[in-house]
Chain A
């Protein structure tokens, strides 16, 4: 699919700039040009497609669906899927959380949404697709959704409502009136310019991270010797998974910046499962998210939430490594 782009990069670097295909610099530059363009195309296409999906499934409708249908335990799964298809913005997570709980959706089901939403987001999926191919992307997305389902279900088993902030509890008790809301329904064609604009905005927003991430990746690709990481952490020592996850949790790396670097780690010998677990912990949990959630949850609840998700990611890491 991207053969033409490889030809273009070869031509640009080896023929136009006349940098040899045998030199480190040539390989690194070729990698950089090819990956940057490929990722930007994928990113735009996926964000655009997600924009279309979202016109048909606005979050309010998803909430109503979860609220009105008896799903016999499948509500965790659906909530997690909804989390995956809803565009993620960390600044929306608190309003979403309150909106869900206030709408009568159980806390555990809400957590399913909250876990998957940052974990499986359009930027992460596009980056994964570009750097690791379709198989790894499917594994990432499916396991992210399952992780959200299970995580929410486990959290739902605890009695966590008393651990919400006082003002959130008050909102829940008061069951306040739905504010008046008037928005005329726009047709698909009327929304198309806006979806396109939105996709451009996201691509522009992550452009810098993509370039920096790929530049670091390209540099490492050309200069780090093969199997370099094998010597230190690639040989599948059991503790490398928990270590990678625990390092990644507080990190707040943009998915766009981190994936190209992870790709090099994998190319140089780190097991794919460890890399996926690292990626999940980086985008799924972060200090800024915890700070935002502090407004609606007690520290204890945040700690339980992060703890359950961290353990789930570590277990998935082991699973990936034993299967892949």
Chain B
């Protein structure tokens, strides 16, 4: 089943590094997933997060306000 990954962030450097980490993990491990960057503040606020970047996997917020390590993302995706 393909996972839907969303990265919430208004485009700050941390949000970009989170996107980098997540897409590397997905491609290196051949995980079936779509990655979507959500940059619109109104969309972001629907998830009720106060600190960006936030990582949303299948509509569940898993990380907010920090850049995770590759291992952590891999764990969350498995």
| In the assembled complex, B10 has its CB within 8 A of some CB on chain A | yes
A92 within 8 A of B: yes
Which residue of the partner chain, among A58, A89, A176, contacts B12 with CB atoms under 8 Å? A89
Asked if residues B51 and A194 are in contact (CB atoms below 8 Å), the reply is no
- Total cross-chain contacts (CB, 8 A): 75
* Interchain nearest-CB distance for A102 vs B (Å): 7
B69 CB, min distance to chain A CBs, angstroms: 7
Q: Is the interface of A mostly helix, strand, loop or mixed?
A: helix
A59 in contact with B41 (CB, 8 Å): no
- Is the Cβ of A60 less than 8 Å from the Cβ of B15? no
Tell me if A91 and B62 are in contact (CB < 8 A): no
* Interface contact A95-B52, CB-CB below 8 Å: yes
Instruction: Specify which of B11, B41, B48, B67 is in contact with A102 (CB 8 Å cutoff).
Output: B48
Q: How far is the CA of A197 from the CA of B48 in the complex (A)?
A: 27
Contacts A59-B51, A89-B14 given; does A95 touch B62 at CB 8 Å: no
User: Is the C-beta of A167 less than 8 angstroms from some C-beta in chain B?
Assistant: yes
Contacts of B42 in A (CB 8 A): 167
Residues of B within 8 A of A95 (CB): 10, 41, 44-45, 49-52
Q: Of residues 42 to 70 in B, which have CB atoms within 8 Å of A's CB atoms?
A: 42, 44-52, 59-67, 69
- For residue B40, which residue of chain A has the nearest CB? A295
Contact of A59 among B11, B65, B69 (CB under 8 A): B65
Question: Roughly how many angstroms separate A194 CA and B13 CA in the complex, as a whole number?
Answer: 16
| Residue contact B49 to A99, C-beta cutoff 8 Å | yes
Please give the distance in Å from A137's CB to the nearest CB on chain B.
Answer: 26
Interface set, chain A 287-306, CB cutoff 8 A to B: 292, 295-296
Q: How far is the CA of A25 from the CA of B33 in the complex (A)?
A: 58
Interfacial residues of chain B within 1-43, with CB under 8 A of chain A in the complex: 9-15, 17, 41-42
Q: Does A323 contact B (CB under 8 A)?
A: no
Complex Cα distance, B67 from A193, in Å, reads: 12
- Taking a contact as CB atoms closer than 8 A, the residue among A59, A63, A183 that contacts B62 in the complex is A183
B48 and A194 within 8 A (CB): no
**B61's contact among A179, A197, A201, A295, by CB below 8 Å, is which?**
A179
Q: How far is the CA of A179 from the CA of B50 in the complex (A)?
A: 12
A46 at the interface (CB under 8 A from B): no
Contacts of B52 in A (CB 8 A): 89, 91-92, 95
Bound form: Cα–Cα A193–B70 in Å: 13
| Given A59-B51, A60-B50, A91-B52, A98:B45 Cβ within 8 A | yes
Within 8 A of B (CB), among A48-103: 58-60, 63, 89-92, 94-96, 98-100, 102
Decide: A180 near B13, CB < 8 A? Known: A95-B41, A96-B50, A194-B69: no
> A292 to B17, alpha carbons, bound, how many Å?
21
In the complex, the answer to whether A171 meets B45 with C-beta atoms within 8 Å is: yes
Give the contacting residue for B50; candidates A99, A183, A295; CB below 8 A. Answer: A99
Chain A residues with CB below 8 A from B62, complex form? 182-183
| Cα of A167 to Cα of B45 in the assembled complex, Å | 11
Can you name 16 extra interface pairs (CB under 8 A) apart from A181-B60, A198-B67?
A: A58-B65, A60-B50, A92-B51, A95-B10, A95-B41, A95-B49, A99-B48, A100-B50, A102-B48, A176-B46, A180-B59, A183-B62, A183-B63, A198-B66, A205-B13, A292-B10
